[in-house]
Amino acid sequence: MRNLPGALALLVSVALPTGVAAAENDYIGVKACAACHTGGRGGDAHGVWERSAHAKAFVTLLNTDEKSRDGRKASERPECLKCHVTGGGDAKNVAAGFDVKEGITCEACHGAASAYRTVHAGGDLARSREAGLNPVDPAKSCLECHNKGCDKDFKFAEKWPLIRHTRPARK
């Protein structure tokens, strides 16, 4: 009984679904997703992203002269980075392939991919979700950043078709 806290922690870690570990996944970067999602069986989600403003979201911060009252550039301000960089600009759980300059990547909506990448590549959607792949509610996901506070002219119905990507039909 002396080791109850340790035993309890072990029981909880075994009993909880694997999806709980998703919060511990690392962001691996857009190149890892592009390996499968550039045409072919994985669809062209990477091409859709690459042609979108999301791919340039961080660069837009670099190209503005706007500074905060304390003199920080937009590319250094947490309130800007939270929507212009996957992981909000302060993510500690990043792998070597992750680069903030990529802006808003696949992982911003679909979740940090280190644990689900391999399973997802194998085509097992249920296990991918257990490992952290987020099912996306487009309106909700988009409105986390495109809202009245920062993007008051955002029109979901007009913008969604520009980033929408579908899974190719399975053969």
Average pLDDT of the chain is 82
CB 56 within 8 A of CB 47: no
What is the per-residue pLDDT for 122? Answer: 87
Percent of the chain scoring above 90 in pLDDT: 46
Round to whole Å and give the CA distance between 158 and 133: 26
* Total domain count, the chain: 1
| Assigned domain for 76 exists | yes
| Assigned domain for 112 exists | yes
pLDDT per residue over 57-88, tens digit each? 999 999 988 888 888 999 999 999 999 999 99
Please name the amino acid found at residue 8: L
| Assigned domain for 34 exists | yes
DSSP letter (8 states) at residue 153: T
Polymer length of the chain:
171
Encode 131-170: b = buried (16+ Cβ within 10 Å), e = exposed.
Answer: bbbbeeeeeeebeebbeeeeeeeeeeeebeeebeeeeeee
What is the per-residue pLDDT for 7? Answer: 35
What is the CATH number for 108? 1.10.1130.10
| Assigned domain for 8 exists | no
Structural domain of residue 43, as residue ranges? 19-134
pLDDT (mean) for 131-152: 88
Asked if residue 8 has pLDDT above 50, the reply is: no
Round to whole Å and give the CA distance between 131 and 115: 6
Asked if residue 18 has pLDDT above 80, the reply is: no
Tokens 């806290």 belong to which residue?
5
pLDDT per residue over 143-159, tens digit each? 889 988 888 899 989 99
What is the per-residue pLDDT for 150? Answer: 83
| Assigned domain for 149 exists | no
Residue 122's beta-bridge partner residues? none
